[in-house]
Structure 1
Amino acid sequence: MTGENLKEQITGWCNATTGLQLVEDRSEPSGGFVLGLRSAAQGSGTVPVDVVLEHDSDRVTIRSTSNASAGSEDLEAVLASRPALVRGQTTGSDTVLTAHVYVDGFTKQAFMAAVDEIAKTRGLLDGLGDGNVGTDSVTQQGPTPAGAGAGTTGPFYAATSAQPEPSSPAPTQPEPASLPAPWSQAPMPAQQPAASQLPAPSFGSPSPSQGGYAPLSGQPAPQAQPAAAFAPTHTVPPQGMQAWAAPDPTGAVVATLGGGLPIQITEVRGAWANILCSNGWRGWVDGRIIGVAR
């Protein structure tokens, strides 16, 4: 296979499918060639890669130079972790990476594998200079601390850090009262079980329904009252749940709490539970859904 045939094959492989871009095409009088490519093997941005065929050479050389300002031990550790076809030589502040694909039996698979490994290794070395572990390793974000949402009024879905030991206040057992109307009178979201499947909760002297609330998704807006010390004891189930202004199922639903929202149980009244959110909002929910009432 001649050098011209090799160059035609390589330039034909430069397209959106392979992630290769041809930026330079220079033929040598001796019969070889130098191609300047950019590889998108890293997924974000492109890496410059040169493809060189010297005169009468039996192999195509893929190379790229990194200027990472990392220590020699870090550079050697990265190079040692890469496949055997990738070689690196450091001179001063430059590390030249090379890989070879032999002309005899030259295939697209062998060529693309060599280009990808050179590009990935170049990305790892450049990442060392930026203080990163490497561009092909995914940095997983740890859980947001429980106090990170203090003082905010937006949804607080990411608070998954260790919670304090649940404090279970002694439930108040009032005198039995007449059962309220069935829960089917209150609108329920599609993901919650049908209201008719749950018996109406029993409670003592219910407080009158409070007006002026607008149903929200996630954590409700704070009420105009002093914020109590927030020590979450439970989280809202993944499917979410509804909240009332008072322990009265005939009243209007004032909020729909998003799944995973941390809440604090401050009072249990029959099948009702009074909750406190991190922004000071309070409301009443069906305590049976979160396991604090029967």
Structure 2
Amino acid sequence: MTPDEIKSAITGWSNQGTGLQLVEDRSEPGADFVLGLRSAAHGSAGTVPVEVRLDQGGDRLTVTSRSTSAAASSEIRALLDSRPASVHGDTSSDGTVITSHVYTDGFSKHALTRAVDEVAKTRALVDGLADTAGAGRSVDSGLGTATGTGLGVGAGAGLGAGAGLASGAGLASGGNAGEDSRPAEPSWSQASSLPSSSSFPTPASSLPAPSFGSPTPTPTATPASGGYSPLSGQPAPQAQPASSAFAPTHTVPPQGMQAWAAPDPNGAVVATLGGGLPIQITEVRGAWAHVLCSNGWAGWVDGRIIGVAH
């Protein structure tokens, strides 16, 4: 391809989905053409300027872009070494010139766009080093100020005062301030011996037997109930055979119940049976029930409360 054909091709490929923009076409001594392009492939703040040059009598196009990054040359060199072998870079006081080549023998759209993209990408990466370095210096500066000022004051004043205290100026001398600031140490006393087992109440082996009260001539005493009317009259006896040994048949309700010496509502209440006490029914007379306790005590209760009478 002739230089004019190559130039025409590059001009036609610009602005056709390649990410290239033709912004300049100039003539320079010793060059067939110099085209100024901008690549939108890797620009973080817009397009990246790229120059394409074909020297007179040359067999390759030179694609270049110059970065004025303020990053350290060692950082730039490390980045350039990590890029593809087709991309080169030269750093000087004027900046870093990034270069790639496209040979005219077999020149194609793919070869050109690839070279332009690699140069533009490398230029964007080198420019980014400057931003990273600037941010790092800002952070270092901030940390240096904090370290030199804040920590220095802390070391000189706070820690220095702490050292004075640690030397025993207050504590070792027994000063009031040192003594007051120390928390009181807990005093430990040996626990007293555990109380002997005789100190604790032991459960009774059996429920208490009803306590007998002396009969009193109080004719108005009536059996306790949950709301029934007092018995009137003496019911006819209904004898039941008594067993030879105590065999509980019922238990006293939780609220307890009163007991009489005889099935007579006008008689005296002789005992109050505790709730849960086992009892044996030995006889039923109407609404009355004759009960026997385990200790041999016997008396009469309201049989309706324990469900043996109606």
Q: TM-score over 0.5 for the alignment?
A: no
Shorter-chain TM-score bucket reads 0.3 to 0.5
Greater RCO, CA 8 A, separation 6+: 1
Higher Cα Rg: structure 1 or 2?
2
TM-score with structure 1 setting the length: 0.43
Q: Which has the higher helix share?
A: 2
